[in-house]
Structure 1
Amino acid sequence: MNYELLCSKVVAIARLTGNFIRKESMNFDAAAVEIKGLNDLVSYVDKNAEKQLVRNLVKLIPDAGFITEEETINSTGKVFNWIIDPLDGTTNFIHGLPTYAISIALYEEGQPVIGVVYEINRGEMFSTYKGGAAYLNNKEIFVSKRTSLSETLIATGFPYYQFDKQEAYMQLLSEMMRSCHGLRRIGSAATDLAYVACGRFDGFFEYNLNSWDVAAGAYLVQQAGGNILNFSGGDEFIQQREILATNGIIDVEMLAIMAKNFND
């Protein structure tokens, strides 16, 4: 498998679908929004973007399976599986806020081999592949080198359902706020992770995320030299549905705060 060539084709597919999303954003009608669940929104843009991605990705590996947010296709491949979010940051998109992204990951026998995150409005294409580095618009990127949590800028997301952990999460946020330069919540986990990979953020944490939210971005962070953990320091971040991404230096400090304020 030529992963570099395959990644270049995935990048082209992401860019094509990004053009569709950008065009639709100019005249989007909020009345076209559907409600999947509590604070869980979807529009025809999400669904059509996903169909377009699937239609083009299936040509690259015909027997690959798909794990998708909008479930326009449901299949499992024996070796290869695409994990895609056609529009990560749907709420931002619906409200006219400019941060949302396409997230595409390819897993081979349960391990990531390609990760692409396309932040549409800035035209920033983050990509990586097995045997390669992590890139932003073809320029190699690395995680930050800040050594103390007190020097860092950290990203997070706020729970929008399953509020039984909200009190503990607020305690966690409170201590994190006092421990770093600042917390940011921009509303797209895929973008947050891509920003950790290129050093804009030094870390990111959130819980209740799905595989399509984090699969590509997490691989970008790893390929750029960072660490991906769950809140207990293990590597089962998708199964546990909690993710901590860092530059690989501030892990101990962040995990200590999580152990104190959030973990049972």
Structure 2
Amino acid sequence: MDVNQPESPIGGKSFTAVAVNCAAKAGEWIKSKSGNFTQLDTKYSMHDLVTEVDKGAERMIRNLIATHFPHHSFLGEEGVEPGPEASAKALEDVSDAEYLWIVDPVDGTTNYVHGFPFYSVSIALAYRGQVIVGVVYDPSRDELFVAERGKGAYVHGRKMNVSDEETLSRSLLATGFPADQHVALPANLKGIQALAPKVRNLRVAGSAALHLAYVAAGRLSGFWEYNLSSWDIAAGSLLIEEAGGRMSDVRGEPYHLGVRSVVASNGRVHDELVAELQAAERT
């Protein structure tokens, strides 16, 4: 960790240990409720779903964090009104926080609702705007992806490294279908149309946080998507960085918490991927 940042253990509890504990407990509860939720609502669009499980998991995580770090700030998806403007404002409202926990209790709710086992718990901790802890937990596979700034990224306790593909033609990429059907979805579809003939293959599995974890683990060469929120990508951004990859906006500018349209890669194919997406945007 940077020498200018405080040590992570506070009161005998490290930030990373708390994040891991929260993700594990919430993930176990989420999995136990699979197929048993009683309330299904839409938020921003018919593609943007929420259940009482999402809300309950966020309360659980918020309460656990508050037990250990009562003075830290908290930004969770379910505590914010739907839509990109609301999520951008919610982040702006806590931009001055020294310590900010950024949480998506169920990233991939549509998958969860349909019993498709590709969803995750995403928990990040930012110190003065920089992510210092990132945890993504996949309850279906019991896979825990963990990164601490300056200390590497790990899955199943093993150090992760990004893949070694040098070109898009050898790459397996992932993307998503954004809930915003007016701007973000058409932009993403342009990218898919441009890239599909030029890469080994594409995957659209429905959890940005898990896609980012897979890039960090070397299972994907890259990922892009438009109009995500900070809780979708904050944890994954540190996984990517600590595994030796690269994260930016769709124009290649460095990632920060306010970035909503992202490109993540093993670093080797990054410039080529950004160039293709920029060319697709101009069509």
Q: Cα–Cα, structure 1 residues 167 and 116, in superposed 2: closer, same or farther, change >3 Å? A: closer
**Structure 2 partner of 1:37:** 44
Contact 2:185–2:226 (Cα < 8 Å) also in 1: no
After TM superposition, the runs of 4+ consecutive aligned structure 1 residues lying more than 4 A away are: 165-168
**Structure 1 partner of 2:205:** 186
Secondary structure, aligned partner of 2:67: coil
Secondary structure, aligned partner of 1:196: helix
Contact 1:18–1:118 (Cα < 8 Å) also in 2: yes
1:12 to 21, 28, 43: 21
**Structure 1 partner of 2:84:** none
- Does 1:105 find its partner at 2:124? yes
Secondary structure, aligned partner of 2:253: coil
Q: State the identity as a percent.
A: 37
Q: Deviations over 1:223-256 (max 9, x none)?
A: 1000001111101464341000010100121111
Query: Separation in 2 of the partners of 1:227 and 1:263?
Result: 24
- Does 1:3 find its partner at 2:22? no
1:206-225 aligned within 5 A: 206-225=225-244
Name the count of aligned residue pairs.
Answer: 262
- Does 1:61 find its partner at 2:66? no
Contact 1:3–1:129 (Cα < 8 Å) also in 2: no
TM-score, structure 2 as length reference:
0.87
- Does 1:243 find its partner at 2:262? yes
- Does 1:121 find its partner at 2:140? yes
| Counterpart amino acid of residue 8 in structure 2 | Y
Where structure 1 has 5 or more consecutive residues not aligned to the other structure, the ranges are none
Query: Separation in 2 of the partners of 1:43 and 1:174?
Result: 33
Contact 1:232–1:263 (Cα < 8 Å) also in 2: no
1:85 to 95, 104, 116: 104
TM-score, structure 1 as length reference:
0.93
Q: How far apart are residue 219 of structure 1 and its match?
A: 1.0
Of residues 123-132 and 46-55 in structure 1, the stretch that sits farther from structure 2 once superposed is 123-132
Q: How far apart are residue 129 of structure 1 and its match?
A: 0.8
Q: Deviations over 1:194-214 (max 9, x none)?
A: 000000000000001000000
Q: Cα–Cα, structure 1 residues 132 and 3, in superposed 2: closer, same or farther, change >3 Å? A: farther
Of residues 137-146 and 101-110 in structure 1, the stretch that sits farther from structure 2 once superposed is 137-146
Query: Separation in 2 of the partners of 1:262 and 1:153?
Result: 21
Q: Cα–Cα, structure 1 residues 78 and 37, in superposed 2: closer, same or farther, change >3 Å? A: closer
**Structure 2 partner of 1:230:** 249
Where structure 2 has 5 or more consecutive residues not aligned to the other structure, the ranges are 1-5, 81-89
Q: Deviations over 1:11-65 (max 9, x none)?
A: 1221111110010004334xx1012221221110000000000000112322110
Contact 2:125–2:134 (Cα < 8 Å) also in 1: yes
Q: Deviations over 1:171-203 (max 9, x none)?
A: 321121111110000000000000000000000
Q: Deviations over 1:73-104 (max 9, x none)?
A: x8847310000000000011111111100000
Query: Separation in 2 of the partners of 1:66 and 1:181?
Result: 40
Q: Deviations over 1:148-189 (max 9, x none)?
A: 111110000012324235444333211211111100000000
**Structure 1 partner of 2:165:** 146
- Does 1:70 find its partner at 2:70? no
Q: Cα–Cα, structure 1 residues 168 and 61, in superposed 2: closer, same or farther, change >3 Å? A: closer
Q: Cα–Cα, structure 1 residues 160 and 78, in superposed 2: closer, same or farther, change >3 Å? A: closer
Q: What is the CA RMSD across the aligned residues, in angstroms?
A: 2.0
